[in-house]
Amino acid sequence: ILNVEQSPQSLHVQEGDSTNFTCSFPSSNFYALHWYRWETAKSPEALFVMTLNGDEKKKGRISATLNTKEGYSYLYIKGSQPEDSATYLCAFIEDSGYSTLTFGKGTMLLVSP
Partner 1 sequence: DSGVTQTPKHLITATGQRVTLRCSPRSGDLSVYWYQQSLDQGLQFLIQYYNGEERAKGNILERFSAQQFPDLHSELNLSSLELGDSALYFCASSVDGTSLNEQYFGPGTRLTVT
Given the rule CB under 8 A, which residues bind partner 1? 31-32, 34, 36, 42-46, 49, 51, 89, 91, 93, 98-106
How far apart (Å, rounded) are the C-alpha atoms in residues 35 and 47? 5
Residue 49 CB, nearest approach to partner 1 (Å): 5
How far apart (Å, rounded) are the C-alpha atoms in residues 73 and 69? 11
Nearer to partner 1, 14 or 99 (CB): 99
Residue 64 CB, nearest approach to partner 1 (Å): 13
Nearer to partner 1, 14 or 43 (CB): 43
Q: Exposed (0-12), middle (13-18) or buried (19+): which is 3, by Cβ within 10 Å?
A: exposed
Nearer to partner 1, 17 or 38 (CB): 38
How far apart (Å, rounded) are the C-alpha atoms in residues 49 and 51? 7
